[in-house]
């Protein structure tokens, strides 16, 4: 190896394969896609290893490449999925109607429960697990969009470009995703102990 | 006066864009008065914290998931192919 700090690429799969896979699985929620994207990442890394500057750890470097690959996949899927309607917001109307949450005066129909601020890591892990299941249950496009924003931490601007939708649409969709997730989390036990 | 519905939109939008001066103060005032919306705001903030943490949590949360032997084999082959392309560019 030219770079003494560089691990032998032969060991990447053994050392990082499963970590990359878990990272991808959490975001893609699909084992086959996760495997493919890991393969893609390692092959790209091999081609690009001359550009690895040794500053970061190999793991961090590989995760960086993986993130790009996952975003590529999101983007491709967004392009391939034909827009049934130019107004994406109406495509997930079955998720909920605002009247489910608010009365005609715009007040909450039901008391909003206190989820507290769980510090306990077990409690947090449980909440994350519920959150993931709730994310899976969101309409596909909404779930992807929410994932881009909250897990990949992309800016609204980037999401607008990637998904070719207007900022207003993105904000509305994110609102819908959050309302849906909040309800799902609430129904599945967040803060149950407290209320 | 903002309704709870308006406030819920602003809480969400506040996560994605800068609120205007007017929106910010309207929301602040509403939250000061409204326990439901205060709890709502905390719920939304917690969801974000949990999701942004899931990077570090990935290890424990899907700890029982690993690349299958078949996937490992496939990837290993793809890497080997890539390697041989590099060493024998004319091949």
**Whole-number pLDDT of residue A85:** 42
Q: What is the pLDDT of residues A96-113, one digit of tens each?
A: 788 889 999 999 999 999
Residue A37: pLDDT band (50, 70, 90) is very high
Q: B residues 13-32 near A, CB within 8 Å?
A: 13, 15-17
Residue A140 and residue A98 in one domain: yes
Number of structural domains found in chain A: 2
Q: What is the pLDDT of residues A4-24, one digit of tens each?
A: 456 677 788 888 898 899 888
Residue A121 and residue A65 in one domain: no
CATH number of the domain encompassing residue A33? 1.10.1740
Among A58, A80, A102, which residue terminates a domain? Answer: A80
Residue A108 and residue A37 in one domain: no
Kindly state whether residue A3 falls inside one of the protein's structural domains: no
**Whole-number pLDDT of residue A89:** 46
Q: Which tokens sit at B17?
A: 């864009």
Phi, psi angle pair for A108, to nearest 5°? -60, 135
Query: Which of A9, A19, A22, A34 to substitute to test the interface with B, most B CBs within 10 Å?
Result: A22
Please tell me which residue, B39 or A187, carries the higher pLDDT value. Answer: B39
Residue A183 and residue A134 in one domain: yes
Mean of pLDDT over chain A: 81
Kindly state whether residue A49 falls inside one of the protein's structural domains: yes
Kindly state whether residue A100 falls inside one of the protein's structural domains: yes
Q: What is the pLDDT of residues B23-78, one digit of tens each?
A: 999 999 999 999 999 999 999 999 998 887 755 555 455 566 788 888 888 988 88
Which of B47, B52, B78 is opposite residue A153, by nearest beta carbon?
A: B52
Kindly state whether residue A172 falls inside one of the protein's structural domains: yes
- The answer on pLDDT for A117 being more than 90 is no
CB A152 within 8 Å of CB A162: no
Q: Which of A68, A51, A61, A76 is nearest to A19 (CA)?
A: A61
Q: What is the mean pLDDT of residues A116-139?
A: 80
**Whole-number pLDDT of residue B91:** 39
CA atoms within 13 A on the CB side of A37: 30
Residue A72: pLDDT band (50, 70, 90) is confident
Kindly state whether residue A53 falls inside one of the protein's structural domains: yes
**Residues spanned by the domain of A159:** 88-194
Residue A92 and residue A165 in one domain: yes
Query: In chain A, what residues touch B56 (CB-CB under 8 Å)?
Result: none
ipTM: 0.74
**Whole-number pLDDT of residue A74:** 79
Residues paired with residue A102 on neighbouring β-strands, in sequence order:
A108
Among A80, A97, A128, which residue terminates a domain? Answer: A80
Among A80, A108, A126, which residue terminates a domain? Answer: A80
Query: In chain A, what residues touch B89 (CB-CB under 8 Å)?
Result: none
Residue A165 and residue A70 in one domain: no
Contact A21/B at CB under 8 A: yes
Residue A1: pLDDT band (50, 70, 90) is very low
CATH number of the domain encompassing residue A188? 1.10.10.10
CA atoms within 13 A on the CB side of A188: 17
Please tell me which residue, A86 or B49, carries the higher pLDDT value. Answer: B49
Kindly state whether residue A4 falls inside one of the protein's structural domains: no
Kindly state whether residue A173 falls inside one of the protein's structural domains: yes
Residue A76 and residue A92 in one domain: no
Compute the nearest-CA separation of A82 from chain B (Å).
26
């Amino acid at each position: 190896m030219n770079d003494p700090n560089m691990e032998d690429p032969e060991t990447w799969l053994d050392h990082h394969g499963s970590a990359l896979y878990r990272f991808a699985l959490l975001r893609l929620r699909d084992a086959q896609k996760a495997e493919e994207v890991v393969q893609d990442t390692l092959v790209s890394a091999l081609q690009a290893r001359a550009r690895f500057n040794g500053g970061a750890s190999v793991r961090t470097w590989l995760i960086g490449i993986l993130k790009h690959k996952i975003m590529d996949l999101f983007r491709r899927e967004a392009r391939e999925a034909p827009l049934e309607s130019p107004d994406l917001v109406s495509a997930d109307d079955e998720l909920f109607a605002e009247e489910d949450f608010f009365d005609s005066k715009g007040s909450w129909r039901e008391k909003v429960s206190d989820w507290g601020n769980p510090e306990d890591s077990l409690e947090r892990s449980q909440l994350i697990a519920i959150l993931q299941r709730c994310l899976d249950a969101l309409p596909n496009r909404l779930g992807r969009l929410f994932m881009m924003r909250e897990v990949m931490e992309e800016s609204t601007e980037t999401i607008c470009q990637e998904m070719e939708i207007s900022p207003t649409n993105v904000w509305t969709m994110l609102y819908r995703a959050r309302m849906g997730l909040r309800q799902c989390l609430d129904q599945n036990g967040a803060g149950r102990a407290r209320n | 006066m903002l309704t709870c519905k308006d406030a819920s939109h602003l809480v969400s939008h506040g996560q994605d864009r800068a609120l205007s001066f007017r929106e910010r103060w309207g929301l602040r005032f509403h939250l000061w008065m409204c326990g439901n919306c205060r709890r709502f705001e905390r719920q939304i903030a917690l969801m974000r914290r949990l999701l942004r943490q899931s990077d570090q949590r990935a290890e424990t949360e899907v700890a029982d998931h690993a690349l299958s032997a078949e996937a490992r084999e496939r990837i290993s082959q793809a890497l080997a192919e890539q390697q041989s392309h590099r060493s024998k560019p004319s091949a």
